Amino acid sequence: MDFATSATEQQFLEKVEACLSQALEVKEGALPHSAEILLAASRHLCVTGNAKRARPLLTSFFSDALGIQNQQLVLAAAAGELIHSASLLHDDVIDDAKMRRGRSTVSHQFGNSVAVLSGNYLLSVAFSLLKEGPKELIYDSIEVIAYMAKAAMAEISIRGKMDTSTTCWREIAIGKTGVLFAWCGKAAARIARNEDAAQRFYQCGLRIGTAFQLIDDLRDLQDKKELKDKFLDIKNRELSFPILISLENPFIRNELKNLWGKEEMNEAEILQVGQHIVDSGAVQKTCEAAKLEIQAAIDALGHFKETSGGKQIFHWLNQLYQTACHGF
């Protein structure tokens, strides 16, 4: 979705874009062909007009809440975006996804090997951007990447297991999405040397990430812009939050059990079950869960919610919610 950023946020995002573009420039080296392939694949995902840049934007909001803006924040925001991009490259291989941000995925266009290696490369670039900031940022980012990998593995391990709980879903959502949002908040606070803010922003980021994942789960069911494959979660036997909620309906539970019991699922069956899930009330319940997470995120800010950055976070989250849940 489009968010009306202030002049300050826009300037910050432009600096992040320039940083990303420069970090992924083709440079002369001993292995020019290898570099060319890795960078072409990396730029295909990272340097595109359809990227939401949610993590850099959130980093800017957190820094506004602290009243700071400097080059270290730009580098941290770019590093956060690169870590996120690396996870997307790997996720698209795992999910056999064909579309990302309205264009073909790196794995679909360049192949799985290039996608995996490009993701690894982006992580190395992210670390290089962080080396001039507080050393804690690198330690924090290592923990985040480990957490994200464990969550991705957990998500794979529960595929098709219809007895999975929403509590389990939440833990995976925190690992997949929440910890990196939390890292963005902590990064701004680390740079400002404000430990109280680091703790508050971390908790806020976890809640934001959970809300963001809820909204992303909805996009799989109702994305009208064709930026991603629709009903891919059903195809991949992924237990998104709305799918889990829909299993309370015995008819849908049986329908999905029969579908996932087949070795091959045809498109018509996937579309039919997907529409039944949409019509079941699961979308509305997912929106309600997202609203609660958003309120918890704002509450976690404490006194920082009254700052300009805190108000921007609330406005941004409210727009995300309205875009995903309008009419439900």
Tokens read off for 81: 């975006």
In tens, the pLDDT along 212-240 reads 999 999 988 875 555 456 788 999 999 99
User: Which three-class secondary structure state does DSSP give residue 255?
Assistant: helix
What angle, rounded to 10 degrees, do the helices at 135-157 and 71-95 form? 20
- Whole-model pTM: value is 0.90
Q: Is the pLDDT of residue 271 over 50?
A: yes
pLDDT digits (tens, 9 = 90+) for 160-175: 999 999 999 999 999 9
Evaluated on CA atoms 188, 193, 196, 198, the torsion sign reads: positive
**Model pLDDT, residue 3:** 58
Read off the pLDDT band of 308 (50, 70, 90).
very high
57-65 mean pLDDT: 96
- Of 44-48, 76-80, 138-142, 316-320, the least confident: 44-48
Among the listed residues 77, 97, 78, 75, the one whose alpha carbon sits nearest the alpha carbon of residue 88? 97
Answer whether residue 48 shows pLDDT above 70.
Answer: yes
pLDDT-derived band of residue 303, with 50, 70 and 90 as boundaries?
very high
With CA atoms as reference, report the closest residue to 59 among 42, 39, 84.
Answer: 84
7 band by pLDDT with thresholds 50, 70 and 90: confident
The rounded Cα 44 to chain-centroid distance in angstroms is 17
- Say yes or no to pLDDT of 106 above 70: yes
pLDDT at 34: 73
Residue pointed to by tokens 């994305």:
223
**pLDDT for the residue 328:** 45
Domains of the chain, each with CATH number or no CATH: 7-325 (1.10.600.10)
Query: Which range has the worst mean pLDDT, 15-29, 139-153, 296-310?
Result: 15-29
